Amino acid sequence: MLYRVSMLNLLLLALALPQVQIAETLDDFHLAAAQADGDRYFAHFTEDAVFLGTDAGERWSLAQFRAYAEPHFSKGQGWTYVASERHIQLGADGKFAWFDECLQNEKYGEVRGSGVLQLLGDSWKIAQYNLTFPVPNDLAQGVVKKIAAAERVGTPRAESWVVEDGDRSLFVWNKVVPGQLKLPAEERPIVVFLPSASFSARASWDFPLRDYSVMEFLAGQGYDVFACELGGYGLSTPAKPNPIGGCESAQRDLELMVTDILKKRETDKIVLVGHSWGSQVAGRYAMQHPDQISGLVLYGFNWKRRISEEGLRSWYGEDAFEGPFRQVTREVAQGDFIEGFHEEDTPEAFTRHLLSQGKQVPSGALHDYASKLPLVDPAGLKMPTLMLAGRLEYFPPGQALATESRTQLREFYGSLPGNKHWIEIPGAGHSAHLDQPYKLFQRCLLGWIRQVK
């Protein structure tokens, strides 16, 4: 009987052994930090480990984390976290495990650690560690407000100027917190917004209803933000000798404006954001001027699915293709809003704001959609690229073309050669920045731009 009990105990010990080893690894990991023993501390990581700190910007490779920690360790200054609760789960193959633990710290109180370990040889190594501050639900709203206030660098100032092209004028609208202009260029990155086929850039991106303005939001976060009105949009003079406009014509206008912005700000890079037809212009410009683009956002993009002239006339008017300009009507201004997915007063307020910026736009964008797509080659976009859209754009009931478009965009996304990311905003359509989850749109755009170097 004793023999059988001993064997049972050994069996149970063998089954529990990985969890015991993992717990010992984590305990020694924390003890090494408390003793400021850098060599022992970092020996617990895999070579490609990632450490996620409590600050949103702290996503560190092992080399980056070592560079942060070793100056402290060299002075005998460590940090003490003791696990008061821990949960470990072993993967089916026995080579990976994940954990979460409650940690006690004299300065911060209770914090939470979680992550992944990998079995290398006979040792468990930390592949990822994530340190967070748990926030009680009844305090969360106040904490979020304090974070938002801390992130905002000041009140933006609005300014406009004109870029001359012979006897033509191209209108640039800027928002920036004045104090930011005293900082080095790398500390106040430039973001440039382009118009869509029917919405002028300023009207779309600086919509002054409550806190809808994307320009105001980004400027308040420390960015130097511009809306570039291409020829014939807003206050900008139509292109000559091609007043019809279109993507190819817009390239020269954008080159003139970007060159002027870079010269004024004494820098050489921008993040370029195009919406709908503006994403065609942005993508094509990025292909031709990759050295100027630190990041590219293709928002509401359509790659190569052409739209029939008949279909475009049915929406934009029978005479939409007849002359160099077409009218922006109330129906066109409100065409992107989906019933039930916007705040009640937004469509009417946006219509008034948009029409105050001009009641006609060049017809060239429609010609692009009818006969010239595709205009952008994904192989030519080697800079960080974000594909951004409202999820409802791809799933309107009964529209097979939406599914076809999304399938094509997935092919486009898969062909992008560089750093890339795909975001769909739930509960939003083609103009997600005007729909009910507009704040989520703003946060997603900011989150991606922040990681662009």
pTM recorded for the entire structure: 0.84
Query: 230 is written with which tokens?
Result: 């291409």
64-78, 150-164, 317-331, 386-400: which range is least confident on average? 386-400
State the average pLDDT for the chain: 92
178 and 126 both lie in a single domain: no
316 and 343 both lie in a single domain: yes
CATH of the domain at 420: 3.40.50.1820
The residues, any chain, with a CB within 8 Å of residue 97's CB and separated by 6 or more, are 18, 19, 22, 88, 89, 90, 91, 116, 117, 119, 124
Asked whether residue 165 is assigned to any structural domain, the reply reads yes
For residue 324, the 8-state DSSP code is S
Single out the residue in 89, 104, 132 at which a domain terminates.
132
CATH of the domain at 50: 3.10.450.50
pLDDT digits (tens, 9 = 90+) for 138-175: 988 888 888 777 778 889 999 999 999 998 999 999 99
Asked whether residue 340 is assigned to any structural domain, the reply reads yes
| Phi and psi, residue 408, nearest 5° | -65, -40
The Cα 279–Cα 302 span in angstroms is: 8
253 and 354 both lie in a single domain: yes
Predicted local distance difference test score (pLDDT) of residue 152: 81
Residues in the chain, overall count: 453
Q: Are strands 157-165 and 168-176 parallel, antiparallel or unpaired?
A: antiparallel
233 and 324 both lie in a single domain: yes
Q: Which residue has the tokens 């898969």?
A: 414
Confidence tier at 64 by pLDDT (50, 70, 90): very high
The Cα 204–Cα 353 span in angstroms is: 9
Amino acid at 282: A
Longest dimension (CA), the chain: 103
Predicted local distance difference test score (pLDDT) of residue 7: 55
Single out the residue in 86, 101, 132 at which a domain terminates.
132
Give the residue numbers spanning the domain of 207. Answer: 147-450
Predicted local distance difference test score (pLDDT) of residue 195: 96
116 and 209 both lie in a single domain: no
Asked whether residue 7 is assigned to any structural domain, the reply reads no
Cis peptide before 397 (omega within 30 of 0): no
| Count of structural domains within the chain | 2
Predicted local distance difference test score (pLDDT) of residue 93: 92
Confidence tier at 3 by pLDDT (50, 70, 90): very low
- 386, 447 Cβ separation under 8 angstroms: no
- 176, 206 Cβ separation under 8 angstroms: no
pLDDT digits (tens, 9 = 90+) for 379-424: 999 999 999 999 998 765 446 567 788 889 999 999 999 999 999 9
